Structure 1
Amino acid sequence: MQTKGKVLSFGELLLRICPDGDGQWLAENQLPFFVGGAELNVATALALWDIPSAYLTALPENSVSEQLIQYLQERNIDTSPVVMQGERIGLYYLPKGKDLKNAGVIYDRKGSAYADLTVGTINWDAVFEGVSWFHLSAICPAINQNVADVCAEALQAAKERDIFISLDLNYRAKLWQYGKDPVEIMPALAQYCDLIMGNVWAANKMLGMPLQEELVAEIEKEKLLQHATLTSEAILKAFSNCKTVANTFRFDYQEKGIRYFTTLYTQNELHVSQEYVVDQILDKVGSGDCFMAGLIYGFYQGHAPQETLEFATAAAFKKLFILSDATSSTVAEIEETIQAYAN
């Protein structure tokens, strides 16, 4: 893989709106919001860590889009690939303290500029100029069939140009509403990818990888690690382009805390991160995106698999204490966290 080009992340820019559960926002006329979207969270982290980062999305031509693009540019994200079309920006509502996988999430994305993308809209020659890494998540093809087709078009174009491809198996049940199950769409996309990140449950749901219920029933670490190996090997066998598989394991700990560790399988070896356990966190949104960004950062820099995994895991853990969609942790702060929690 070339390591001197840009990392291009592709997905929908979203505004996350955060009403409180009691309706106090109505009385106060205040409604907190954050700029996000899984792939933008990755692009933001990489730019913060001095990796040349570009972002491809679709936005309508209006003053809010102009402000958003300026906001991204101020964070050193190359916005030149952005497609200007359509009428609206995608939104989602997530009550304070809730998880994106929680039933409380409300999507308002239909008819957005990104949701209206179609095959043939994007000039891939221009978009992939100077790009050596392409990243997307399974949230994109979950939106509708047209966007899924654009994802296939993008992946094929990237592979033809020998661009390294990473895929995050984000599963959002509320998005898969157009008559297709993930397993009908995702394997055809995964065949192009060099690095696949997710967890053993997502790999089962989205790629049809076997799920060994007896290994995940009790949340025992050794059995989970055994399953991580099985899932990783199954993915590598099913998708010949893929050489590396990452899995995250994040569980609630006590009432408001988290237990977190991850794995990376490459070259017939399972690497396991140190484990993070904490009694209280602030915001779960974007932690997985931060882990993905950490993997890209490490491999882009040519770091060894274990070093890459530890950085990505610590980055994701630190994101749990940041109230936003994207991380604000520097490389130095993340490296300090690795040392502070070292076993």
Structure 2
Amino acid sequence: MSDQIPLVAKQGEKVLSFGEILLRICPDLQGNWLKENKLPFYIGGAELNVATALALWNVPSAYLSAMPDNAITREIEQELKDKQIDTSAMLFEGDRLGLYYLPKGNDLKHAGVIYDRANSSYAELAVGQINWDEVFKGITWFHFSAICPAINQSLADVCLEALKAAKERNISVSLDLNYRSKLWKYKKAPIDVMPELANYCDLIMGNVWAAHSMLGIPLHPHLEKSQEYDNEILLQQAMDTSKAILAKFKSCKAVANTFRFDHGAGIKYYTTLYTEDQLTVSPEYVSDDILDKVGSGDCFMAGLIFGFYNKLTIKEILSFATAAAFDKLYIASDATTSTVDDIKARMKRDDE
């Protein structure tokens, strides 16, 4: 077995992330934002979080979304450019930017996310609207998530169009199985849409429950009923899930799974990466307190791409990606602000 994943990643060419750019509005849970007339926000979106991390880590990074053309969105575009993200493929059309509301903090499960993204510029994209010949020039890797086809049938069709165009050009494709139940509202369940898209993906990342609900991958009977922390069962499930994905989706070369469990006010966190008949398991990270859960999975995905792009070993890829994801839990924004050196320093601390 080799120690590198056989994925195409040409040095100097860009990684293109595709998804909806959003503003995340962050009211506090105590209602102080009403009294103080202050409402913090972040530029967000799962795929933009990946693009932002890659650019910060000196991987040539491009981002494709759609926004209305106005003074505010042009300022947002400039902010992305300032972060060294190539926005040349950005579409400026439509009438509105998507929003979502989610407080900051470590206990978000009781707050709930509120989406306000219907009829956004991105949501109105259609097949034939994007010139993939132009968009894919100088691109070696294409990344998207299951959030994109969750929005509507038209976006699902655009994703399929993009994946076919990427495969025709031998571009590696990664998929994050983000499951957002509040978005799947157009009379199709993820299982009706995601398997066709997964057929074109080289790397699939998520967790064993998402793989079950979105790709139809079997679960151990115990795990169908609960998400309890049982390391032996979970690692066996990671192995079984990964093997099943590779058997079902012939383009797929590697499968990554994350495991994150509440631990008081903090979490327990570890990950796995399966390729060429071997499951690699990360160290387990434990924290008694964290700052913000948003974007941790995106940071893990970016860490994987960073490792593949730089041709690291399997162990190095997983170690970096896991440390990057855990580090993000201490950063109060949608995307990481930690450099490669910052993340390596965390890895060194945790090894001591």
| Alignment TM class, shorter chain as reference | over 0.9
Quick check: 1:98–1:104 contact (8 Å CA) kept in 2?
no
Q: Give the structure 1 partner of residue 235 of structure 2.
A: 225
Equivalents in 2 of 1:207, 1:85: separation in Å? Answer: 33
Unaligned runs of 5+ in 2: 1-7
Which structure would you say has the larger RCO, counting Cα contacts within 8 Å and 6 or more residues apart? 2
Q: Give the structure 2 partner of residue 293 of structure 1.
A: 302
Q: Deviations over 1:105-139 (max 9, x none)?
A: 00000010000000000000000000000000000
Q: Give the structure 1 partner of residue 80 of structure 2.
A: 72
Shift of 1:22: 2.5
Residues 38 and 50 (structure 1 numbering): CA distance in 2 closer, same or farther, change over 3 Å? same
Equivalents in 2 of 1:169, 1:313: separation in Å? Answer: 17
Question: Any residues of structure 2 matched to 1:113-132 within 5 Å, and which?
Answer: 113-132=121-140
Q: Give the structure 2 partner of residue 320 of structure 1.
A: 329
Quick check: 1:3–1:301 contact (8 Å CA) kept in 2?
no
The one-letter code of the counterpart of 2:250 is S
Quick check: 2:106–2:291 contact (8 Å CA) kept in 1?
no
Q: Give the structure 2 partner of residue 257 of structure 1.
A: 266
Q: Give the structure 2 partner of residue 277 of structure 1.
A: 286
Q: Give the structure 2 partner of residue 237 of structure 1.
A: 247
Of the candidates 237, 247, 260, which is equivalent to residue 257 of structure 2? 247
Of the candidates 302, 305, 319, which is equivalent to residue 310 of structure 1? 319
Equivalents in 2 of 1:101, 1:129: separation in Å? Answer: 41
Matched residue of 1:341: which SS?
helix
Residues 162 and 74 (structure 1 numbering): CA distance in 2 closer, same or farther, change over 3 Å? same
Equivalents in 1 of 2:315, 2:279: separation in Å? Answer: 9
Equivalents in 2 of 1:128, 1:99: separation in Å? Answer: 40
Q: Give the structure 1 partner of residue 30 of structure 2.
A: 22
Shift of 1:96: 3.0
TM-score when scaled to structure 2? 0.95
Equivalents in 2 of 1:101, 1:142: separation in Å? Answer: 20
Equivalents in 2 of 1:160, 1:2: separation in Å? Answer: 15
Q: Give the structure 1 partner of residue 10 of structure 2.
A: 3
The one-letter code of the counterpart of 2:323 is A
Unaligned runs of 5+ in 1: none
Q: Deviations over 1:216-266 (max 9, x none)?
A: 744211210110000000000000000100000000001x11100000000
2:47 corresponds to 1:39 = yes
Residues 297 and 126 (structure 1 numbering): CA distance in 2 closer, same or farther, change over 3 Å? same
Structure 1 vs Structure 2: percent identity of aligned residues?
64
2:111 corresponds to 1:81 = no
Of the candidates 331, 347, 350, which is equivalent to residue 341 of structure 1? 350
Q: Give the structure 1 partner of residue 99 of structure 2.
A: 91
The one-letter code of the counterpart of 1:288 is G
Of the candidates 162, 181, 187, which is equivalent to residue 195 of structure 2? 187
Shift of 1:2: 3.6
Equivalents in 1 of 2:91, 2:110: separation in Å? Answer: 31
Equivalents in 2 of 1:102, 1:175: separation in Å? Answer: 18
Shift of 1:215: 5.1
Shift of 1:342: 1.9
Equivalents in 1 of 2:109, 2:203: separation in Å? Answer: 23
The one-letter code of the counterpart of 2:262 is D
The one-letter code of the counterpart of 1:3 is K
Of the candidates 18, 21, 38, which is equivalent to residue 13 of structure 1? 21
Shift of 1:101: 6.3
The one-letter code of the counterpart of 1:331 is V
Equivalents in 2 of 1:13, 1:135: separation in Å? Answer: 14
Equivalents in 1 of 2:137, 2:302: separation in Å? Answer: 21
Q: Deviations over 1:67-107 (max 9, x none)?
A: 00000000000000101110010000012326676661000
Mean CA deviation greater in 195-204 or 331-340: 331-340
The one-letter code of the counterpart of 2:291 is L
Q: Deviations over 1:186-237 (max 9, x none)?
A: 0000000000000000000100100113257442112101100000000000
Equivalents in 1 of 2:223, 2:281: separation in Å? Answer: 17
Mean CA deviation greater in 64-73 or 212-221: 212-221
Of the candidates 140, 145, 148, which is equivalent to residue 148 of structure 2? 140
